[in-house]
């Protein structure tokens, strides 16, 4: 089968379109014919082997442990192992399976998968797993979001942020999104009640206080964020932005957790977990029309390295798609439309 593989750590230049062996299916696994995948910052940690702590966490110490890159995908089930009970050939599924999705086939344990939302294309569905799981688990499990709270999402225009704005609105929060000038309208149109342009204003220096801050971008320190948290407020740290080659953002996270021991506010890191239960919950929100993926660009599988390079610019608006089995001829998807303009067949 065709796959995007790398034999060494490095920039996107190490990625090659190759012919590799189709994966075997273990007894508890599902073999999926991948229709579309979607890159995440997670993938470039595996590609670069940086920060070094990522190598100990499963990327491989000297060279990549899994040569095929990619963590998110949507596709249809081709075969199942004899212990699989929830899926059968022909089912349309999606999931965050950690490795191997930039390929024509991937096999994954059934507990990492869920049936794809019926109202999404494979391309749309592939953008959901890691980004929307991060948004959901960050807001609900770590942030303990409640209806009526004031919630600030820093990085509201990115892959996770565009899901976080919509999910926080679903929970009944009053949502403020932090983004740059060009994304203000888009972030408002997905439901943000207010927006702050970070190129003109520092959100940590405004008078407004928030019950929950979800930090997905930028490098505002936990102490700076505390200035705009209510006395019992929560800061959820998910930003991987960090020049650190050894432990990446971990030092910022450790400082925040230690500081949290001595103050009334809670400063917590987020570690997103694969969860078919949460994927099913997200499917319901999507099928009810409460959450719609925002797609920036679509690349064919052979241009996956360019998809990663684009994501690495830090300027993606919503999600980037890698189309696997039906590669488009152009590298730009139909532009994302505000919810009111989305045709019923695309919702
Ligand atoms: N902890 C976990 O388990 C976990 C899981 C998934 C993701 N993450 C992390 O979460 C972060 C967000 O991921 P993502 O997929 O959403 O990334 P992304 O899609 O690459 O984010 C890009 C967006 O960030 C915005 N941005 C850049 N600098 C900003 C700033 N200073 N203030 C506000 N917005 C800014 C950009 O908007 P402009 O172009 O307008 O600047 C762009 O829309 C990453 O650091 C990732 O590593 C963590």
Distance from Cα 215 to the centre of ligand 1, integer Å: 9
Kindly write down the DSSP assignment for every residue of 238-270, as one continuous string. -------SSSTTHHHHHHHHHHHTTSSSEEEE-
Confidence of residue 242 (pLDDT cuts 50, 70, 90): low
Which residues have CB under 6 Å of ligand 1?
40-42, 130-131, 134, 154-155, 157-161, 178-180, 183, 198, 216-218, 238-241, 270-272, 311, 314-317
Q: 284 in a domain, yes or no?
A: no
Q: What is the pLDDT, as a whole number, of residue 57? A: 75
Count of domains for the chain:
2
Adjacent-strand bridge partners of 115 = 93
Domain limit, last residue, from 208, 234, 269 = 269
Domain limit, last residue, from 269, 304, 319 = 269
Whether residue 155 is found in the same domain as residue 192: yes
Looking from the CA of residue 156, the nearest atom of ligand 1 is: 34
Whether residue 116 is found in the same domain as residue 143: no
pLDDT, one tens digit per residue, over 136-154 is 999 999 999 999 999 999 9
Whether residue 14 is found in the same domain as residue 120: yes
Whether residue 191 is found in the same domain as residue 302: no
Q: What is the pTM of this model?
A: 0.92
Preceding peptide of 153 cis, ω within 30°: no
Q: 219 in a domain, yes or no?
A: yes
Rounded mean pLDDT of 234-245? 74
Whether residue 112 is found in the same domain as residue 30: yes
* The pLDDT of residue 250 is above 90: no
Q: 236 in a domain, yes or no?
A: yes
Place of tokens 């919810």: 339
Distance from Cα 193 to the centre of ligand 1, integer Å: 20
Distance from Cα 314 to the centre of ligand 1, integer Å: 7
Pocket test for ligand 1, best of 54, 131, 155 (most atoms within 8 A of CB): 155
Q: What is the pLDDT, as a whole number, of residue 18? A: 96
Q: 288 in a domain, yes or no?
A: no
Distance from Cα 14 to the centre of ligand 1, integer Å: 24
Q: 142 in a domain, yes or no?
A: yes
Pocket test for ligand 1, best of 159, 166, 216, 319 (most atoms within 8 A of CB): 216
Domain limit, last residue, from 269, 285, 313 = 269
Confidence of residue 346 (pLDDT cuts 50, 70, 90): very low
Higher pLDDT, 346 or 180: 180
* The pLDDT of residue 131 is above 90: yes
pLDDT, one tens digit per residue, over 51-87 is 777 777 777 778 888 899 999 999 999 999 999 999 9
Q: What is the pLDDT, as a whole number, of residue 240? A: 58
Cα(347)–Cα(58) distance, rounded to whole angstroms? 37
Of 15-19, 222-226, 240-244, the least confident: 240-244
Q: What is the pLDDT, as a whole number, of residue 212? A: 98
Whether residue 92 is found in the same domain as residue 161: no
Preceding peptide of 3 cis, ω within 30°: no
Confidence of residue 243 (pLDDT cuts 50, 70, 90): low
Of 59-63, 238-242, 286-290, the least confident: 238-242
* The pLDDT of residue 331 is above 90: no
Q: What is the pLDDT, as a whole number, of residue 244? A: 60
Distance from Cα 244 to the centre of ligand 1, integer Å: 17
Whether residue 181 is found in the same domain as residue 246: yes
Distance from Cα 310 to the centre of ligand 1, integer Å: 13
Q: What is the pLDDT, as a whole number, of residue 192? A: 98
Place of tokens 């989305």: 342
CA–CA distances in Å: residue 88 to residues 72, 214, 347:
20, 38, 25
Kindly write down the DSSP assignment for every residue of 87-128, as one continuous string. --TT-EEEEE-SS--SBSEEEEEGGGEEEPPTTS-HHHHHTS
What is the span of the domain harbouring residue 223?
131-269
Q: What is the pLDDT, as a whole number, of residue 24? A: 94
Whether residue 122 is found in the same domain as residue 163: no
pLDDT, one tens digit per residue, over 311-321 is 999 999 999 99
Of 17-21, 37-41, 239-243, the least confident: 239-243
Q: 32 in a domain, yes or no?
A: yes
Contact present, 287 and 22 (Cβ < 8 Å): no
Q: What is the pLDDT, as a whole number, of residue 326? A: 66
Whether residue 122 is found in the same domain as residue 135: no
Whether residue 241 is found in the same domain as residue 208: yes
Rounded mean pLDDT of 195-201? 97
**Mean pLDDT over each residue of the chain, to the nearest integer:** 90
Rounded mean pLDDT of 104-127? 97
Cα(55)–Cα(67) distance, rounded to whole angstroms? 13
Q: 276 in a domain, yes or no?
A: no
CATH number of the domain to which 147 belongs: 3.40.50.720
Instruction: Say which DSSP state 68 is in.
Output: B
Q: What is the pLDDT, as a whole number, of residue 249? A: 63
Whether residue 50 is found in the same domain as residue 116: yes
pLDDT, one tens digit per residue, over 2-22 is 999 999 999 999 999 999 999
Looking from the CA of residue 41, the nearest atom of ligand 1 is: 47
Q: 238 in a domain, yes or no?
A: yes
Whether residue 46 is found in the same domain as residue 119: yes
CATH number of the domain to which 39 belongs: 3.90.180.10
* The pLDDT of residue 188 is above 50: yes
């Amino acid at each position: 089968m065709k796959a995007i593989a790398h034999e060494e750590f490095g920039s996107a230049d190490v990625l090659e379109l190759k012919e590799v062996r189709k994966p075997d299916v273990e007894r508890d696994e599902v073999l999926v014919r991948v229709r579309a995948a979607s890159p995440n910052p997670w993938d470039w940690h595996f590609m670069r082997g940086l920060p070094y702590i990522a190598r100990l966490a499963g990327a491989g110490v000297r060279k990549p442990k899994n040569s095929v890159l990619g963590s998110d995908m949507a596709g249809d089930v081709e075969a199942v192992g004899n212990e699989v009970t929830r899926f059968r050939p022909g089912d349309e599924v999606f999931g965050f399976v950690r490795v191997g999705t930039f390929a024509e086939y991937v096999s994954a344990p059934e507990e990492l998968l869920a049936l794809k939302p019926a109202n999404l294309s494979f391309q749309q569905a592939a953008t959901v797993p890691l980004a929307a799981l991060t948004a959901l688990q960050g807001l609900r499990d770590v942030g303990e979001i409640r209806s009526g709270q004031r919630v600030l999402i820093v990085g509201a225009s990115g892959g996770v942020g565009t899901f976080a704005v919509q999910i926080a609105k679903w929970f009944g929060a009053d949502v403020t999104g932090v983004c740059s000038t060009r994304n203000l309208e888009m972030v408002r149109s997905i439901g943000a009640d207010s927006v702050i342009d970070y190129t003109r204003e520092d959100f940590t220096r405004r008078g407004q206080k928030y019950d929950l801050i979800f930090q997905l971008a930028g490098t505002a320190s936990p102490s700076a964020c505390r200035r705009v948290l209510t006395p019992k407020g929560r800061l959820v740290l998910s930003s991987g932005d960090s020049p650190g080659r050894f432990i990446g953002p971990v030092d910022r996270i450790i400082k925040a957790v230690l500081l949290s021991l001595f103050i009334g506010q809670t400063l917590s890191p987020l570690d997103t977990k694969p969860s078919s239960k949460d994927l099913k919950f997200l499917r319901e929100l999507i099928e009810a029309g409460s959450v719609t993926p925002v797609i920036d660009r679509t690349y064919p599988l052979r241009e996956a390295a360019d998809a990663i390079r684009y994501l690495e610019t830090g300027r993606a608006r919503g999600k980037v798609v890698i189309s696997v089995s039906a590669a488009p001829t152009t590298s730009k998807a139909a532009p994302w439309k505000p919810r009111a303009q989305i045709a019923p067949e695309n919702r």
